[in-house]
A = this chain, B = another copy of it.
C-alpha cells in the first residue's frame, strides 16, 4: 500500500518515520516544505500539494492542528479530493471532534472517498517509539484495510465504532488528561505550602495508585520548572472546547470540564498558549 502523510509537526514527523521504517512506500506533504527534509533524507517522496500527494497514494493520513486545516487540505484548491484515485482512503489522526469528523466523512463520501477517524494519545515520546494509542472510528471493513499502517504507528489500536467514535473517546481522554495535570499542579502548590519538597512528592506519588502514566510523564516538569513542549496549551484548549461543544449540544452540565476550560482560557490569555500544557502551574503561583 502506498501511503501519503500530511502534517510534519511534533507528532507527524516521528509517526511518518515509523511508517517508512515498516517498509511502506511513503509520500509526504507539509505547508512549510523545509519540515519535510528529515523524511526526504530517509527516503520519502516529497510533493508540493495535497492534490499531488493524493495522485500517487492509496491512503492519505492527515495529522494537523484543527478541523479547518483538515478542510483546506481535503477540499481546498489543491486539495486531496482533486487528486484522488478511485478507492482512496483518508485517515485523519488529528483531534477534530465527532461532529466535524461526521461532516468531513459525509463530504468525502460524495466524492466516493472513504474516511476513518483515528486520533491518537500518548504525546511525542510514544510517537517516536511507535507506541501510540489510536482510537478508531469508521466502517470496520475499511479499517481492516489500513490496520497494518496504523500498527506501524501505535501498539494499542482500539476500534470504537462508526465515524466519530474515535474522536469521541479522544475528547473524553483529553478531558481526563487536562484535569489530572491541573490537579497535579495544584498538588505541587499544596506541597510547597505544607513544606514538602516537590522532588520528594514526585518520587513518592509515582508509586501511588492515584497516578496515571500521563501524570508520571509530566510530574517532573513541576520539579525542574522546565516544560518541554510535547502538547501545547492551545492544542489542549482546542480539544477541551470540542468536548464542551458536545456537552452543550447534548445539554449536559459538566462542572469540571467547564472549570478546566476556564483555566486554560486564562493560560492562553496570559500568552502561554504555545507552551506545553503543563505550564498550567504558572497560573496558580501566588
Give the B-binding residues of A (Cβ under 8 A): 98, 121-122, 126, 133, 135, 156, 158, 160-161, 164-165, 168-169, 171-177, 179-180, 182-184, 186-187, 189-196, 200-201, 204-205, 207-215, 217, 243, 246-247, 249-257, 259-260, 262-263, 284, 286
Q: Is the CB of B286 within 8 A of A246?
A: no
Chain B residues, Cβ within 8 Å of A182: 179, 256
- Within 8 Å CB of A255, what residues of B? 186, 259, 262-263, 284
**Judging by beta carbons under 8 Å apart, are B172 and A187 in contact?**
yes
Q: Determine how close the nearest CB of chain B comes to the CB of A229; give it in whole angstroms.
A: 18
* Least CB separation from A196: chain B residue: B168
Task: Please give, as numbers and ranges, the residues of chain B lying within 8 Å of A259 by CB-CB distance.
Answer: 255-256, 259
The answer to whether B209 and A214 have CB atoms under 8 Å apart is yes
Sorted from nearest, which 10 A-B pairs have the closest CB atoms? A193-B250, A209-B213, A172-B187, A168-B194, A179-B183, A186-B254, A176-B210, A212-B212, A209-B214, A158-B204
**B168 touching A191, Cβ below 8 Å:** yes
**Bound form: Cα–Cα A18–B175 in Å:** 39
Inter-chain contacts of A189 with B (CB < 8 A): 247, 252, 254
Which residues of chain B have C-beta atoms less than 8 A from A121's C-beta?
A: 208-210
